[in-house]
Amino acid sequence: MAKYRWPIFADYFQFIVQDEESKDDFGELWRGAPVGMMVAAGETALSFGTLRNVDVQVELRVVDEPPEIQLDECDHGVEGAFASPTGKLLALGCTENFKDASRLEIAPGSYGFIYLISGADTVQNEWEPAEDLYSVYIWPAAKRELRPVKLWTPTRASAAS
């Protein structure tokens, strides 16, 4: 397993993981994204929603098979798939310059993913420090549709903040 962790500026409450040569249009992807999933998935690019509009901790793990997830340890989870024809992935904020993106290499091919959010209850507002963590696991897999595993909904107290 390879594990990467970066602070990424989640401008517009999102960050991106994509193939280096992706042509996916995030405007179109978000327009068609299922409400509440917090994921816009294209053929070769993924945009993940966040709870804060500041630097957030993003963890990406490349694994050989779907991980066993303890759902009680996360607040939100969505599965899906994408392709990386070049095997060169970028992880970046949506307004970040590609030359400044974090990079990693994987075998070219089709991948499944699960996107997990934990620490949602530590977020009081978008600008204060919190312990939220945004984790993406990827593994070789055939194409599949987005599927919710666990959907987060704000509590009344956090929604009022």
SS3 for 89? Answer: strand
What the block records as the tokens of 64 is 């050989």
Choices 2.60.34.30, 2.40.50.1070, 3.20.20.190, 3.30.365.10: CATH for 2-152:
2.60.34.30
Cβ within 8 Å of residue 159, ≥6 positions away: none
What the block records as the tokens of 87 is 């095997």
Q: Which residue has the higher pLDDT, 159 or 35?
A: 35
Residue 156: predicted pLDDT: 54
Each residue of 107-146: pLDDT tens digit? 999 999 999 999 999 999 888 999 999 999 999 999 999 9
Residue 33: predicted pLDDT: 86
Each residue of 39-51: pLDDT tens digit? 999 999 999 999 9
What residue ranges do the domains of the chain occupy? 2-152
Cα→Cα distances 56→13, 35, 53, 130, Å: 10, 22, 8, 9
Q: What is the DSSP letter of 29?
A: H
pLDDT at 159 over 70: no
Q: Mean per-residue pLDDT for 9-21? A: 96
